[in-house]
Chains A and B, each alone.
Chain A
């Protein structure tokens, strides 16, 4: 999970309702057409776990929107992980940084995240897994949180579709007590291992925020080693007024065995 900014949910104006309706329609079409959807710490998790693989990952995002609710907002996090089996990959987020719009940057805390792979790739109609994490905050105005949900991936030839449905529940003093839902989708086409262009889409119904846009991802094997470098860059555009106009995404990862 990555930091997400709290933002006051504005009352929907008539034209916003129209936009929202169109957005929901687009989301429904995507869902029905692909069987996959997407979420909002601006990553779409794969259910796949590669046994014995270790990873060091740095990822972040930055809003590009002159409106005061979004201007200057950005976040980044650094994590390490190791897949102890072919079905369980724990990941520790060592550093989580956030700069809220109009505020100053600060470190938020730590997170323990687990990816569970339930099925072998290609064994069934789609591949299934589960995400479960606990986020510990070190700042006074943020609550600890649990996060969980199914991860789905479907490959068709060189196309890969992923869908995440994630529920988050704050815990501890001042927690809202409600489950907050978000979903995410990514669809990519593997031109080569190093170049996989595609789209990502994120929906946060509680914020009435919906975003989608192009991304490019890929990996390079480091010659003479059992390691590789992965990258993902993109920009997702706000599909309605409650979402930032542009969110720039970046992720780099070093994987080794």
Chain B
């Protein structure tokens, strides 16, 4: 139990030191259930912010298995998704509610 308490304290204390400030910001737009752009170049090896704006009248779920994110975007709303650091490579993402059309990739380089 002591070990668990120590670990929990350490984990909690880290939240105050790893502040996600001054991050590069990139924007994706969902319109007609399609991501625009569908391919986005992002920096490798550093954390960044992704603004996902949904211009459709229906909700969308921004999701990626490759970089492990899942977040709802309400109609005519925006969300912020923190991503990375990613190794150089290609990472797919999709809209869970419109998987046939809402597909895209982050190219980390």
Which residues of A approach B to under 8 Å, CB–CB? Answer: 24, 27-28, 31-32, 35, 37, 48, 50-53, 118-126, 128, 150, 152, 155, 157-160, 163, 165, 181, 183, 190, 192-193, 205, 221, 225-226, 228, 257
CB-defined contacts of A128 to chain B, threshold 8 Å: 11-12, 15
CB < 8 Å A-B pair total: 94
When the two chains form their complex, are residues B96 and A121 in contact, meaning their CB atoms are under 8 A apart? no
Contact (A183, B11) CB under 8 Å given A122-B82, A193-B63: no
Q: Is the interface of A mostly helix, strand, loop or mixed?
A: loop
CB-defined contacts of A183 to chain B, threshold 8 Å: 4
Chain B stretch 40-56: residues in CB contact (< 8 A) with chain A: 47
Docked pose: A225 CA to B98 CA in angstroms: 9
Which residues of B approach A to under 8 Å, CB–CB? Answer: 1, 3-5, 7-8, 11-12, 14-15, 17-20, 47, 58-59, 61, 63, 65-72, 74, 80-84, 96-97, 99
- Residue of A37, A159, A160 most packed against chain B (CB within 10 A): A37
Contact (A52, B74) CB under 8 Å given A31-B7, A37-B4: yes
- Residue of B66, B82, B84 most packed against chain A (CB within 10 A): B82
Contact (A51, B65) CB under 8 Å given A120-B80, A120-B82, A181-B4: no
When the two chains form their complex, are residues B59 and A124 in contact, meaning their CB atoms are under 8 A apart? no
When the two chains form their complex, are residues B12 and A121 in contact, meaning their CB atoms are under 8 A apart? no
CB-defined contacts of B99 to chain A, threshold 8 Å: 221
